Structure 1
Amino acid sequence: MNHLIIGIAGGSGSGKTTLALRLKERFGENEVRLIPHDSYYKRHDDLPFEERCKLNYDHPDAFDNDLLIEHLKALRAGQAIDCPIYDYADHNRSDRTLHIEPAPVLIVEGILPFVEPALCALFDYKIYVDTDADERILRRILRDVKERGRSLDSVILQYRTTVKPMHEAFVEPSKRQADVIVPNGGENGPALEMLAHHIRSLIQRANTL
């Protein structure tokens, strides 16, 4: 089996996850595996909760890309992995893992997968989701307060101190690595259908090699 590795990048709240999920819906259940880059935030058991809250989670150094690269290479070689699970409320990696079996298509989505050269080099196809900043911050507030147990004040503080400056320094420039730029992520129906068709053609091409 040939394994196609797709990277989806974009700012926080841009619609990356929605795009990844809707792409997965276009294929069979066993054809696609989703791997959040967030799952590979570094573990910080050495720091108390108060200190973990202060860390910059929007900088490339926040991620254990070496482990993700190791796992992607294992999946490409037909080996299953135990993917970390990140606890957003605790600001640390959980003790639980998610067992992931190989599949024809592996999708990695996150804010910074295109920044680390060794990781970026593993992607056969790179998609950047480009969404207006006002829309992104509104989505982030709703998500972090409702789904991740954060306070409104903490979300706004984090956005001003790390999310916005790191987006400008690292996320936005990484779009230059993309093969295609998609406005509005999973809400862009025509782009979604185009991507699904193109990915299907890439799978077929890989299987003829």
Structure 2
Amino acid sequence: MEKPYIIGITGGSGSGKTRFLKQLIEGFDGRYVTCISQDDYYRPREYQLVDKNGELNFDRPESIDYEHFATDLKELSEGRSIKKEEYTFNNPNAEAKTLVRKSAPVILVEGIFIFHYKKIAELIDLKIFIDARDYVKLQRRLKRDREERGYDADDVLYKYENHIMPSYQKYIEPYKEEADLVVPNNKDFDKALHVLKAAIQSKIMPSS
């Protein structure tokens, strides 16, 4: 088996990474394209950093079990399958599933710190940065966290101002210059999606 082609997708919280990833893999057989997400490698609450007001901060590189994440990506890149318990974002009503990821010719890696983590960045062949204006990202974050995770608006706004934006400016935005492709996503990303799907197809069925 040839080394898989690894595509990394990053951007700030609310930039649309997850939606871009979901639409990107639509129509592709799981035998040819697999995904691995940073979100499944959060450390337990008791290992998270606490800010000056006693609030847990999940928006730091230390919040992620980086070594486990890097090891699993390495396993996939060498043709082996991995198993990982799903992270449920501290939702007591959610039942964690065991996620099984099989290696494939194309591996998609998604997460806000994937370019910051050196061991992961070194494995990535194509770096994609999803970009959006700050107010757009905040609106999306408010909607997602209130509807999907049950957080109230004040909590979301506090975290955005004190955790998310400082982290974005220090650990995410600087890597925008290193990206092979920057995808604007204030309204839609249809053109970039079409280009990336064609690129994936070329890796799955290379021309003779």
TM-score category of the 2 structures, normalised to the smaller one: 0.7 to 0.9
Q: How many residues align?
A: 202
- Partner SS state of residue 87, structure 2: strand
Q: Which residue of 1 aligns with 2:177?
A: 176
How many angstroms apart in 1 are the aligned matches of 2:159 and 2:28?
36
Offset, 1:202: 3.8
In structure 2, give the amino acid aligned to 1:165.
P
How many angstroms apart in 1 are the aligned matches of 2:25 and 2:88?
24
* Residue 195 of structure 2 corresponds to residue 194 of structure 1: yes
Contact conserved, 1:10 with 1:111, CA < 8 A, in 2? yes
How many angstroms apart in 2 are the aligned matches of 1:185 and 1:162?
22
* Residue 150 of structure 2 corresponds to residue 149 of structure 1: yes
Show CA shifts across 1:72-100 (max 9, x none): 11112222111231121349xx8643121
CA separation of 1:26 and 1:160: change in aligned 2, threshold 3 A? same
CA separation of 1:196 and 1:170: change in aligned 2, threshold 3 A? same
CA separation of 1:8 and 1:71: change in aligned 2, threshold 3 A? same
- Partner SS state of residue 187, structure 1: coil
CA separation of 1:120 and 1:128: change in aligned 2, threshold 3 A? same
CA separation of 1:97 and 1:89: change in aligned 2, threshold 3 A? same
Contact conserved, 2:133 with 2:186, CA < 8 A, in 1? no
In structure 2, give the amino acid aligned to 1:65.
Y
How many angstroms apart in 2 are the aligned matches of 1:100 and 1:186?
31
TM-score of the superposition, structure 2-length normalised?
A: 0.86
Q: Give identity over the alignment, percent.
A: 36
CA separation of 1:186 and 1:114: change in aligned 2, threshold 3 A? farther
How many angstroms apart in 2 are the aligned matches of 1:168 and 1:126?
18
Instruction: Return 106-115 or 138-147, whichever deviates more.
Output: 106-115
Extract unaligned runs of 5+ from structure 1. 48-52
Q: Which residue of 2 aligns with 1:34?
A: 35
How many angstroms apart in 2 are the aligned matches of 1:38 and 1:31?
22
How many angstroms apart in 2 are the aligned matches of 1:124 and 1:148?
33
Extract unaligned runs of 5+ from structure 2. 49-53
How many angstroms apart in 2 are the aligned matches of 1:155 and 1:165?
14
Runs of 4+, deviation exceeding 3 Å: 44-47, 202-205
- Partner SS state of residue 171, structure 1: helix
Show CA shifts across 1:5-56 (max 9, x none): 1110000010111111111014224322222211111234568xxxxx8222
Residues 62-141 of structure 1 aligned to structure 2 (within 5 Å): 62-90=63-91, 96-141=97-142
How many angstroms apart in 2 are the aligned matches of 1:66 and 1:18?
26
Contact conserved, 2:129 with 2:182, CA < 8 A, in 1? yes
CA RMSD of aligned residues (A): 2.6
CA separation of 1:199 and 1:109: change in aligned 2, threshold 3 A? same
TM-score of the superposition, structure 1-length normalised?
A: 0.86
Contact conserved, 1:13 with 1:136, CA < 8 A, in 2? yes
Which structure shows the bigger proportion of residues in helix conformation?
1
